[in-house]
């Protein structure tokens, strides 16, 4: 029907001058031009006026100019001319020139709203999309189809509607079930109907594709993954990236244990702000689990732009926990730049790709129960890359601790008994009112004496190596009581 010309303009009028910008169009290869835009001076200004040079427009200085050409230019070839007539005023900036067609019938697929990038069930999954009438004539009906992994198309036809020009419409399609792993959903519109005919004049906006992953379930803890199998991601795990060139990959170039690990290759990347997520299965938690923990091996060395700046951001590794398949998340661990590094050297820029040796790995431990409670959950290992250096991970372990019932009943437990050289005083929580632990041998002689000032930890190891076998008396002195217990050293 017509042609839309748009461009972004930034100009600050120079006081006392009147620069001019004209946009003209030709349909006869430049032999003649018709003016479609002509502004000067204060009318051209998008950022006010000044007596200083306008050298670097900021975002608020830009304005989008939109011009609709009449139908005489809708067919055939056209040439645009952007003409500056200087009055010794100020700089004129132009960006994002866009020439597009406006059609009589044009139904566009705007977004795929469901499934999500990560799904935690094989189905049924209900696809949901948003379409919009990008043409001029009202649409009274249409057909939408989708394919899953290049399978047979599934169609849905709507009729008896009135979708006016510019109006969006959200619809759901027929549900599907699929398998654990990576999938591709393609949605496309077919044959919009108007009072004047059927068919779509613009096929460039008819379809969209969505890559999504379905993760599996880990029915019991512990979950241990050392990335030794051939396949990656591991069974029941998932991976999501915002940049195809940067993603978690398996590598045999380095490992904390075994022969392989996973790595984000930030060093050779060409883009900033890449986000790569490695996602665990849905972990079945249990109300009998008193505590849930995460441990993993990490290796990292800063890149050439360490320590970084606002214009040179650093690599980041973040671990998030979700109890609703990624709809909401909580950060349980996050490091970047120098705080992320695991090497023993002082912080300094590194200009070579980092491949860790055995001594470069560091074990990381996270207490998950404050975030997970007793609910089922997933962990997201999120690498945010900024072209610095490679991040390596190995030996991911998620495990639970179940405390003895006697410990939960009386608040403390001393074990083992009998013991060989050491025994453990285990409190249910940090015993801030514990003042001292003392051990006496069978003759009453004090052989161990440890004092506290609100700093006692929940698990205290008592070492009596070198002492004679026999009966010993443990005395635990609190601010409000004293507990005495007999132990036997073998």
Secondary structure (DSSP) of 103-158: -SS-EEEEEEEES-SEESSSS-B--EEEEEE-SSSPEEEEEEEEEETT---EEEEE
- What gap in Å lies between CA 474 and CA 439, rounded to an integer? 5
pTM, to two decimals: 0.74
Q: pLDDT by residue (tens digit) across 61-104?
A: 999 999 988 777 767 889 999 999 999 999 999 999 999 888 88
Is residue 184 within 8 Å of residue 115, measured between CB atoms?
no
Is residue 281 within 8 Å of residue 216, measured between CB atoms?
yes
CA distances from residue 190 to 52, 111, 144, 248, 431 in whole angstroms, order as listed = 55, 16, 6, 37, 70
- Phi first, then psi, for residue 406 (nearest 5°) are -65, -35
**Mean pLDDT along residues 248-268:** 95
- Phi first, then psi, for residue 429 (nearest 5°) are -140, 175
User: Measuring CA to CA, which residue among 46, 140, 135 is closest to residue 90?
Assistant: 46
Q: pLDDT by residue (tens digit) across 434-487?
A: 999 999 999 999 999 999 999 999 899 999 999 999 999 999 999 999 999 999
Q: What is the pLDDT of residue 74?
A: 67
Distance of CA 411 to the CA centre of its chain: 41
Say yes or no to pLDDT of 1 above 80: no
Is residue 316 within 8 Å of residue 384, measured between CB atoms?
yes
**Mean pLDDT along residues 232-247:** 88
Mean pLDDT of the chain: 93
Q: pLDDT by residue (tens digit) across 431-441?
A: 999 999 999 99
**Mean pLDDT along residues 23-42:** 93
> What Rg do the C-alpha atoms of the chain give, in angstroms?
34
Q: Which residue has the tokens 């609190």?
A: 478
At 64 the three-state DSSP class reads: strand
Q: Which residue has the tokens 């512990």?
A: 222
**Mean pLDDT along residues 180-189:** 97
Is residue 384 within 8 Å of residue 334, measured between CB atoms?
no
At 436 the three-state DSSP class reads: strand
Say yes or no to pLDDT of 273 above 70: yes
Is residue 228 within 8 Å of residue 221, measured between CB atoms?
no
Token reading at 153: 């198309």
């Amino acid at each position: 029907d017509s042609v839309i010309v748009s461009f972004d303009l930034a100009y600050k009028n120079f006081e006392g001058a009147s620069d001019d910008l004209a946009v003209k169009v030709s349909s006869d290869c430049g032999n003649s031009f018709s003016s479609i835009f002509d502004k000067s001076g204060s009318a051209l200004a998008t950022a006010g006026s000044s007596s200083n040079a306008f050298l670097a427009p900021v975002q608020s200085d830009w304005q989008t100019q939109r011009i609709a050409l009449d139908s005489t230019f809708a067919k055939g070839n056209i040439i645009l001319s952007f003409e500056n007539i200087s009055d010794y005023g100020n700089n004129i900036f132009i960006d994002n020139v866009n020439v597009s067609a406006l059609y009589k019938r044009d139904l566009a697929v705007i977004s795929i709203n469901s499934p999500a990038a990560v799904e935690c069930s094989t189905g049924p999954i209900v696809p949901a999309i948003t379409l919009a009438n990008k043409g001029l004539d009202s649409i009274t009906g249409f057909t939408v189809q989708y394919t899953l992994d290049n399978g047979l198309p599934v169609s849905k036809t709507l009729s008896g509607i009135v979708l006016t020009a510019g109006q969006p419409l959200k619809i759901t399609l027929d549900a599907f079930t699929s398998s654990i792993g990576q999938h591709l959903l393609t949605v496309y519109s077919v044959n919009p109907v108007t009072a004047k005919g059927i068919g779509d004049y613009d096929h460039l906006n008819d379809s969209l594709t969505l890559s999504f992953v379905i993760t599996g379930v880990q029915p019991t803890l512990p979950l241990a993954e050392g990335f030794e199998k051939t396949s990656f991601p591991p069974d029941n795990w998932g991976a999501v990236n915002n940049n195809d060139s940067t993603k978690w990959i398996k590598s045999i170039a380095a490992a904390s244990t075994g022969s392989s690990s996973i790595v984000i290759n930030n060093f050779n990347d060409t883009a900033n702000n890449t986000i790569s997520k490695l996602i665990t299965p849905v972990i079945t938690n249990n109300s009998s689990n008193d505590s849930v923990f995460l441990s993993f091996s990490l290796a990292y060395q800063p890149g050439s732009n360490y320590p970084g700046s606002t214009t040179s951001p650093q690599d980041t590794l973040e671990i998030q926990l979700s109890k609703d398949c990624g709809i909401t998340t909580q950060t349980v661990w996050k490091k970047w730049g120098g705080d992320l590094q695991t090497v023993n050297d002082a912080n300094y820029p590194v200009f070579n790709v980092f491949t860790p040796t055995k001594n470069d790995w560091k074990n990381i431990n996270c207490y998950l129960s404050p975030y997970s409670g007793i609910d089922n959950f997933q962990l997201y290992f999120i690498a945010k890359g900024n072209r610095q250096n490679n991040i390596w991970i190995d030996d991911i372990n998620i495990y639970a601790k179940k405390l003895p019932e006697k410990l939960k009943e009386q608040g403390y437990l001393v074990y083992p008994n009998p013991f060989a050289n050491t025994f453990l005083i285990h409190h249910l929580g940090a015993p801030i009112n514990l003042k001292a632990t003392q051990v006496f041998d069978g003759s009453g002689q004090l052989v161990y004496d440890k004092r506290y000032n609100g700093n006692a930890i929940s698990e205290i190891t008592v070492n009596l190596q070198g002492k004679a076998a026999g009966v010993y008396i443990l005395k635990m002195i609190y601010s409000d009581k004293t507990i005495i217990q007999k132990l036997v050293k073998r």
